[in-house]
Structure 1
């Protein structure tokens, strides 16, 4: 018991007295109200997590930005009533209602209070902004006021709020040197639908339509209704042409299910125009006008289409997706589109064949601009590399079994197949590792099979790759490194794996002024690790002449023999003879 007037000496009181700064910090961070401290010009210095949640931003996006960028004021102008230069006779506290966007993408009313933080001369040098959300814990608004920035039919932001967000997004994009995209959406023939069902039912359908579109838009992006049957999507932070086209396609798909209206089912489509910042325009109104003009281009093509401002870009993307569709069809039906040819590997001195490499060829090459090997990166990006690899392995097994059963000399040669990185990373569509797949192929032996591991795949998760490759090696399969010297490889790790060969691109000779020294160093390094180098891609006599003296016994390339189908290869082998390995 202490005497009246004396301070308590309890432990907690002592801690608080000793650490007032820590208490203030805890209060700032743990407050459920958004708290922001700015400098005298209104630029943000410090925010808490509650403000980030209320304003729908990350903390890293706030520092140094004017506080006005993170809310929309119902007053005009919306700037602070006090600044660092305000005279002391004016008020140092101010309050108004504003709109902030939550992390879920909604625009919510917030009560903002601004308090000046005075220095020793009673001058405001900093400001404390407090943001209090104007709804109850059950999500219901505290009042039924109509907010002038929200479209009453769809609940989406209207043009006023879109303009504010677009201005903010353009400022951020300019500051960060990034792109953004604006999608202008016009519902095809909606006026006829509205007239047939009545305006009240038309408004209800618009609300359902808006919900479908909103479901396809990320929370950090904005879907707004401009009026009538026109909507706009603002894509921030990922405004590439590919991202914009992907979103547009999702929006089209969202409208595909019929809209029920009484006993009727209505089908709707949309024309979508896409404008890009900074390619097509740099300001709010020109960017919107560009997106609208692109929408008219899309409408001219017919209902349910999209277009970019740049018609060449539209054509390029159309060709890109056409190619991807054709490649997907080819990989899912490989026997209709692809076949395996085999290119010999030769002993450099005797020119006798020491092995074969399986290579992809089109069955109808006139339908394609390039050979299949030129599309491998695209195939990998589409997630189809493993499917293609497995078809190549199964086809090679069938070919080798036929050669072996017929007693041809081809059956005595090793066959190599290049693996894709996804197989090495065990990132397969059916979650079956490579060794599990191989065990179920019905092969009596794999002593004839060599798998070529891409060098770029040897820089990731090495432990996983090591375990997989050792399991594959236990099946009797031999392993080769593909593209040694073109990618960084951990030599200590490489020496622990059962590789017996490595291919080195002979074209390195002309790609670098020290090309010959690099080739020789790569071959000597491999020889020191008991890994035999194979010089590949030797397609011209001049290149072969430049390789004289390089420490490699084995060579491969069109100069010696192109890849051939099995029947032609058998005739070629009779003339050259197998040399064994």
Structure 2
């Protein structure tokens, strides 16, 4: 880090040092003007600047204004002698070289001049060659002195620069002797580890290394039999004395240091130079990235990739030991209800809580992973008997019995578990996971909140299911979907007043299939919206045809899936179809399930309200079989209730308090009532006595194609009392 005090030093570092030749300045001091002129001509050269003066006073004035490389100084001057100039140069610590010129014969003059600092003494009269030699020697000496000064300055500045860089480096820089002991360490040691520099002098490098890495450092740098004579690069953890600070991880690079040795032994090993860079932040970032790549961020459990790696390894180990392992596919039942009812944040909280309970039920060596929204995988290695897996699965179910506390209340969560065993159910990770998934769906079909082992027959059913799904995707384009119609009869009017459109699929290989066979598959595969759109349009088109031939009061009922209200624009689809076929909206009834009403979702309620405002009737199908409450009937603007066939079947000549309650509720809310499943004339009288006028069932007609249904509209339905 550069501090304000470093600025002048760094500024000096930025200035280039003066190198090469420069103009040499010479001052000639003599009161003999012809002699001065002669010297000026003699000394003239392109790289010289020669000036002149004739007195001590003039000389000192010129020296005060400027420095010179060489002074040719006459001993005797009008206002004193040259010794005064030498004294002035000495007092002011000047560096000019002086060649004294004198006509004095006495040796004392020469000795005095040399003692006072003159570099040479030339006695007058002198030969030109003698003077030239003295001048050249003096100028050479000047150049050498200047070169030495510049070199010394360079060395000094270079040393200051390198010391500054080392002392201010963010890296730990050190030198070791051949035995691996510190001979130098920069101040970074104090900030990085909390060690005082003075305390480390002569200490082994291993004294600052974490215990986990001490052994290899001792082997590298403190081994007397094999000192570190080669460069090394490695990562290691250091020991820290700083409170609340963990051991930092550093990237260490070292180089051996050699000095001059004798001719017999060659270079002499002097020790080790090293640089350690703190990479703790980078290592932490790498660990975070690695964790995120292989773990689920919500539950902190392994994700599918890490689970796959562990399962592959477990399969290889189990195969060598001729043992067995199990894969559990765990799916949370009714999880979507939590998201839709309480929001995704509460759903996330529930998933975290479920993950914690699942983790606590598994053994130490087991692996639990989250692989989907509400899906988990568990790896159970070292399984001896299938009963061991059953015990763990039962433990999981028991652990989830206690309700989970969410922000808006408690929620009881259950799971369905599918089990696949190695090698019986598969020998690869993909096959075991797939078969556990298939078994999980079987557990759901068996009532949920349980577990199921994979069976080969399940795989056959699964493949058939996939094949059926692929065929269903093409059914509309191939024209394989059909509508059958079942009449709705009015006792009072003694005629057909409506008909319910019932979907059938004429499969090219399996024949005519009912909706129970493929509608759940369509809902799961996301195909129901397209199918419902087709049903609505086909039913409206058929009603238009019947009205055009005279059945002007006939009503049409169409079943909708709860998924139609979750996705897509069901309201716009109905409006568009009614408008396209020029129908009165009141002639169409849409049947919804009690479960849809119980969701109490604002978007669902809003769509039902929009349909009613458009004039379309909305009926609750199979009313009474779910958990409907009167509050929901107040919230949802439905127009009629359909009594489930199970209640009608139970009449058998007896009155039904349930049907009486339903008809009473309908009268209280001003709703129409339709009874399904009428098969005997005795049921008609009971229903009529309870206030139910519109009936539907096999007594009047089975679901039939449009041509057969049309003939029923022209006659009095069979089975009505006379």
**TM class by smaller structure:** 0.3 to 0.5
Greater radius of gyration (CA): 2
The normalised TM-score by structure 1 is: 0.48
The normalised TM-score by structure 2 is: 0.39
| Bigger RCO of structures 1 and 2 (CA < 8 A, at least 6 apart) | 1
